[in-house]
């Protein structure tokens, strides 16, 4: 199976190498800001000319927003804008121009309705102090050294890895992987290199191909499986709150930057800010590691996995639970399961957000009209079932896999939380276009299916 995969490794850079990488990241920022200034200037000029009644054919020529057009404009002006351009790789300037071209396209598609989701704003200038340094290489010598502890990048030369790249090197040597690009980026005070690889993955099958498991995510337990397993919630952010508060108070006592007066941050403020950033990065790494291990285990063991389509954005509006929901990573679990099921030959079923998995009795199929959040046990008034509400929801999710509407891996409809279902378990019925709803009906447009783009955690 052909797919695009990323391998990410930490770097151990010398002081000279770090200065060189920062110079390339700065070159990308300069090219981005220059091109954005030109685009805004041309837009403002054309708008002003229209107010004066100038015909469209006599307006100032529009500047192309494609990467090729921006690159042509930059090559024509780089000698005056950046006389030092020869000291950096051409890929550095291409990184900034490519980022601007993508941002302009996203803004245009959002305004015209081609892009779904939240409205995308117009691109903004990149700040030297607030922008994450990053540079991407797509051409030139990009390889892993035979010792598998060093990588070679254009103009940057030989860089030492903090960990072995044997997993990537083994695939490249066998001819099952081809490195397409490499991105050097600083996250949490540490430099990383991420290789985008076109890889040929071997076909795999889960350990139990006929096994079906329902996964109900929550805060008390990170995940409750229909098999009865309870996955504890590690609460990494909650455990680090004491240290984060202490580092935050220490940071406020230092002299920080002030945009109004142009005050520069002190060295102590920068060191304190770096300590705070490293703590946040550790929390994110711990969370990512735990989610990867959980989703990898589920996809390798079970042939069918059923999860809910949760409105995480709406859930985060609850100020009492927002921090705990974000710490658990509800949306990340579904994203990881999406591509890992395709990698391991499994099937992912996503239940509609209106499917009443918590309100439905897993024994008789009766649906409650209301179920308060503080009611942690589900009590069925029809059959007398009493069990944990999350375990009951997980069983209902697992039951969706046996229904005819779940032959594929798309969303399963289940609207109608205040109505009863027929005996034998919950039923999700899809309404055909042009027909009136009856009983439990409602459909949701497909959520895109599976994707092969992923980020692999490498040890």
Active site residues: 216, 308, 390
Tokens standing for 260? 């109004």
Q: What are phi and psi of 4, to 5 degrees?
A: -105, 125
The number of angstroms, rounded, from the C-alpha of 375 to the middle of its chain's C-alpha atoms is 33
Question: Considering only CA atoms, which of 27, 38, 62 is closest in space to residue 123?
Answer: 38
Beta-bridge partners for 74: none
Helix/strand/coil (H/E/C) assignment for every residue in 146-204: CCCCEEEECCCEEEEECCCCHHHHHHHHHCCEEEEEEEEEEECCEEEEEEEEEEECCCC
Burial class (CB in 10 A: 0-12, 13-18, 19+), 458: middle
Question: Considering only CA atoms, which of 29, 101, 99 is closest in space to residue 65?
Answer: 101
CA–CA distance, 285 with 15 (Å, rounded to integer):
25
Helix/strand/coil (H/E/C) assignment for every residue in 231-270: EECCCHHHHCHHHHHHHHHHHHCCCCCECCCCECCCHHHH
CA–CA distance, 206 with 345 (Å, rounded to integer):
7
CA–CA distance, 142 with 161 (Å, rounded to integer):
14
Tokens standing for 154? 């254009």
Q: Strand (E) positions, 103-167?
A: 134-137, 143-144, 150-153, 157-161
Question: Considering only CA atoms, which of 213, 211, 210, 209 is closest in space to residue 224?
Answer: 213
Within 10 Å of residue 242's Cβ, how many Cβ atoms? 9
Strand 302-308 versus strand 347-351 pairing type: parallel
Question: Considering only CA atoms, which of 176, 147, 177, 178 is closest in space to residue 164?
Answer: 147
What residues contact 377, with CB distance under 8 A and at least 6 apart? 386, 387, 388, 389
Assign 340 to helix, strand or coil: helix
Tokens standing for 256? 């920080």
Q: Measure the CA dihedral 225/227/233/234, to 10°.
A: -130
CA–CA distance, 421 with 416 (Å, rounded to integer):
9
């Amino acid at each position: 199976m052909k797919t695009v995969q990323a391998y990410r490794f930490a770097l151990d850079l010398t002081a000279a190498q770090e200065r060189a990488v920062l110079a390339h990241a700065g070159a990308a920022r300069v090219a981005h800001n220059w091109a954005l200034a030109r685009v805004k200037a041309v837009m403002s000029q054309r708008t002003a000319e229209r107010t004066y009644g100038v015909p469209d054919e006599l307006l100032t020529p529009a500047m192309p927003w494609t990467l090729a057009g921006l690159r042509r404009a930059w090559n024509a002006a780089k000698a005056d804008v950046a006389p030092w351009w020869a000291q950096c790789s051409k890929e550095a300037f291409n990184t900034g121009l490519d980022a601007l071209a993508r941002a302009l396209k996203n803004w245009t598609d959002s305004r015209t309705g081609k892009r779904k989701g939240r409205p995308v704003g117009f691109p903004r200038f990149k700040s030297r102090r607030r922008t994450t340094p990053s540079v991407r290489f797509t051409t030139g010598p990009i390889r892993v050294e035979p010792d598998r502890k060093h990588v070679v990048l254009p103009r940057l030369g030989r860089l030492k890895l903090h960990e072995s790249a044997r997993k990537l090197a083994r695939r490249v040597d066998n001819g099952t992987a081809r490195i397409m690009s490499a991105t050097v980026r600083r996250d949490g005070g540490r430099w990383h290199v991420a290789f985008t690889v076109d890889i040929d993955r071997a076909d795999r099958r889960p350990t139990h191909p006929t096994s079906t498991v329902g996964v109900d995510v929550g805060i008390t337990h990170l995940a409750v499986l229909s098999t009865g397993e309870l996955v504890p919630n590690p609460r990494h952010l909650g455990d680090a709150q004491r240290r984060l508060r202490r580092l935050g108070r220490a940071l406020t006592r230092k002299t920080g930057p002030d945009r109004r007066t142009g005050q520069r941050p002190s060295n102590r403020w920068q060191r304190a800010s770096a300590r705070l950033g490293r703590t946040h990065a550790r929390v994110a790494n711990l969370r990512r590691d735990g989610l990867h291990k959980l989703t990898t285990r589920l996809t390798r063991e079970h042939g069918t996995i059923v999860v809910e389509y949760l409105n995480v954005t709406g859930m985060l509006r609850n100020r009492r639970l927002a921090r705990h929901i974000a710490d658990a990573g509800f949306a990340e679990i579904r994203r990881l399961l999406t591509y890992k099921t395709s990698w391991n030959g499994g099937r992912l079923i996503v239940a509609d957000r209106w499917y009443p998995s918590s309100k439905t009795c897993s024994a008789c199929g009766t649906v409650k009209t209301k179920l308060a959040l503080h009611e942690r046990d589900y009590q069925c008034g029809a059959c007398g079932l009493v069990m944990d509400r999350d375990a009951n929801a997980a069983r209902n999710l697992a039951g969706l896999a046996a229904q005819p509407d779940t032959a594929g891996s798309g969303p399963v409809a289940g609207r109608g939380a205040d109505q009863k279902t027929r005996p034998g378990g919950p039923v999700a019925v899809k309404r055909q276009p042009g027909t009136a709803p009856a009983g439990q009906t409602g459909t949701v447009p497909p959520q895109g299916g599976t994707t092969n783009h992923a980020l692999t955690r490498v040890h």
